[in-house]
């Protein structure tokens, strides 16, 4: 459904991804695991048209999407919940959700979709008229994911959805991500937290220093092995 081949990208003259190969099949949850600075956010930014592609290809449903702008990608069915700045603190829960549907904000279906999203996130419905800044960390992350769903994506990109959350809030969020997958959305998430990612992923890649060093079904991945790879990156 989504495939990057020999993808090189970065900022200005600084190349961050040095030839990444990765694919996400329809219905999968794929996790890209990597330590801080590995290039995880850059990878999502690149797939979502926010970072310069130097060479290589990115195909979505069989067509090249290199050079397309984020709003064009949203129309094609991609959505992104970035790690930072993913909700508007001064807006209410409902207002944030409506903003998530900005590509079709005049569509009368948006109201109905807000209610649909609340079925997946009843804890947000209770707080529908509260400003986002009054939510707990876990609720805010749920809002970020819910907001990304408002464009009715077929593929959802998630940047470290559980970072900064308590263990309890983190597992609650991962269980929501499983619900999102069951609703038919394909998911690519990036994580530093290997154990958390393995709660939801079908398949994983390990990204170190802008290179994929390992690909594996989640069930065959040894956490200790990934931890060793992470440590080698710090050395």
For ligand ADP, the closer of residues 127 and 196 by Cβ is 196
| Site membership for ligand ADP, residue 40 (CB under 6 A) | yes
| Site membership for ligand ADP, residue 140 (CB under 6 A) | no
For Mg ion, the closer of residues 42 and 96 by Cβ is 42
Q: Interface with Mg ion by CB under 5 A: which range of 32-40, 101-109, 130-138, 193-201?
A: 32-40
Among 2, 22, 29, 41, binds ligand ADP (CB under 6 A): 41
- Measured in whole angstroms, the distance separating CA 218 from the mean position of its chain's CA atoms is 17
Among 2, 16, 158, 206, binds ligand ADP (CB under 6 A): 16
Closest distance of CB 156 from Mg ion, Å: 17
For ligand ADP, the closer of residues 58 and 124 by Cβ is 58
Among 20, 29, 41, 210, binds Mg ion (CB under 5 A): 41
161 binds, among Mg ion, ligand ADP, none (CB under 5 to 8 A by kind): none
Write a three-state SS string for the chain: CEEEEEEEEEECCEEEEEEEEEEECCCCEEEEECCCCCCHHHHHHHHCCCCEEEEEEEEECCEECCCCCHHHHHHHCEEEECCCCCCCCCCEHHHHHHHHCHHHCCCCHHHHHHHHHHHHCHHHHCCCCCEHHHCCHHHHHHHHHHHHHCCCCCEEEEECCCCCCCHHHHHHHHHHHHHHHHCCCEEEEEECCHHHHHCCCCEEEEEECCEEEEEEEHHHCCHHHHHHHHHHHHC
Burial classification of residue 12, based on how many CB atoms lie within 10 Å of its CB (0-12 exposed, 13-18 middle, 19 or more buried): exposed
For ligand ADP, the closer of residues 34 and 170 by Cβ is 34
Q: Interface with ligand ADP by CB under 6 A: which range of 38-46, 62-70, 193-201, 224-232?
A: 38-46
Among 13, 14, 219, 224, binds ligand ADP (CB under 6 A): 14
| Site membership for Mg ion, residue 46 (CB under 5 A) | no
Q: Rule CB under 5 A: which residues touch Mg ion? A: 40-41
């Amino acid at each position: 459904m989504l495939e990057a081949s020999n993808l090189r990208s970065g900022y200005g003259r600084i190349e961050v991804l040095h030839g990444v190969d990765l694919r996400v099949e329809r219905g999968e949850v794929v996790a890209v695991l990597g330590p801080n600075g590995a290039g995880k956010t850059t990878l999502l930014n690149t797939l979502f048209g926010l970072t310069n592609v130097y060479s290589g290809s990115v195909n979505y449903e069989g067509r090249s999407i290199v050079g397309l702008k984020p709003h064009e990608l949203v129309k094609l069915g991609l959505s992104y919940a970035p790690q930072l700045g993913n909700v508007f603190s001064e807006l209410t829960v409902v207002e944030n959700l409506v903003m998530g549907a900005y590509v079709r904000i005049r569509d009368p279906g948006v109201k109905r979709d807000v209610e649909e999203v609340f079925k997946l996130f009843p804890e947000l419905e209770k707080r529908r008229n509260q400003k986002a800044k009054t939510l707990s960390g876990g609720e805010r992350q749920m809002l970020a994911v819910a907001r990304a769903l408002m464009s009715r994506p077929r593929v959802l990109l998630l940047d470290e959805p559980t970072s900064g959350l308590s263990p309890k809030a983190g597992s609650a969020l991962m269980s929501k991500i499983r619900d999102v997958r069951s609703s038919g959305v394909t998911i690519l998430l990036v994580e530093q937290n290997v154990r958390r990612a393995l709660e939801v992923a079908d398949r994983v890649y390990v990204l170190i220093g802008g290179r994929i060093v390992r690909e594996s079904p989640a069930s065959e991945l040894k956490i200790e092995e990934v931890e060793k790879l992470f440590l080698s990156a710090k050395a």
